[in-house]
């Protein structure tokens, strides 16, 4: 993999890592994206879903099985809506991972070279050099690095591929280059 990048592309200031583009490395990246982009909404949704489940449980203890069809319907509805709302992000993550498996580079190793001017990515699908200004935002999370192309589309590099402090350096490269 290292032979795909020329010696001029690697400078003293650049950070080079190798990362697998597979399900193991990208599992949970969608959750990190959701938490970063929609933290307040995710917390409100979580509280609303738990509230619906609790209301359904209270209604079930008080009215279920007493022959009142409307009360039974409302009880089941609260429990169902609370459950579906709570698992919805998990379903979105499954769809996101399914979309990744269709990518031509899936299952291969990608070499990233983060330099002050650009990000160079080399893999089985070819070599791509992307200037920092093309990234909308670069974010360090607990589990990895999110590099946003726009507000919804991102590239993910898992945190275990970086050495200590390198993710913060990559984020600062993006800030300086913008």
Contacts of 111 (CB under 8 A, 6+ apart): 1, 2, 4, 5, 16, 17, 18, 19, 121, 122, 123
For residue 106, the model assigns a pLDDT of 84
pLDDT recorded at residue 4: 44
Compute the mean pLDDT over every residue in the chain, rounded to the nearest whole number: 85
Q: Look at residue 39 and tell me whether its pLDDT is greater than 70.
A: yes
Banded model confidence at residue 131, pLDDT cuts 50, 70, 90: very high
Beta bridge partners of 147: 138, 155
Q: Is the predicted pLDDT of residue 11 greater than 80, yes or no?
A: no
Phi-psi region of 170 (alpha: psi -120 to 50; beta: other; left: phi over 0): alpha
Query: Are 113 and 1 contacting, i.e. CB atoms less than 8 angstroms apart?
Result: no
pTM value is 0.74
What would the pLDDT profile of 63-119 be if each residue is shown by its tens digit? 877 888 888 898 999 999 999 988 888 888 888 888 888 888 888 899 999 999 999
Q: Hey, is 121 helix, strand or coil?
A: strand
CA atoms within 13 A on the CB side of 49: 16
């Amino acid at each position: 993999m290292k032979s795909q990048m020329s010696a001029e592309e690697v400078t003293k200031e650049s950070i080079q890592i190798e990362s697998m583009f597979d399900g193991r490395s990208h599992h949970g990246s969608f959750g990190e994206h959701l938490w970063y982009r929609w933290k307040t909404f995710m917390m409100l949704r979580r509280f609303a879903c738990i509230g619906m489940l609790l209301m359904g449980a209270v209604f079930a203890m008080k009215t279920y099985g007493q022959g009142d069809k409307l009360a039974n319907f409302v009880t089941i509805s609260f429990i169902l809506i609370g459950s579906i709302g709570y698992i919805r992000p998990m379903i979105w993550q499954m769809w996101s991972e399914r979309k990744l498996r269709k990518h031509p580079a899936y299952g291969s190793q990608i070499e990233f070279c983060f330099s002050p001017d650009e990000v160079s990515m080399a893999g089985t699908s070819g070599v791509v050099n992307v200037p920092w200004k093309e990234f909308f935002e670069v974010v360090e999370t607990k589990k990895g690095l999110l590099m946003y192309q726009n507000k919804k589309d991102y590239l993910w590099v898992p945190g275990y591929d970086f050495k200590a402090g390198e993710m913060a350096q990559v984020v600062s490269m993006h800030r300086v280059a913008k």
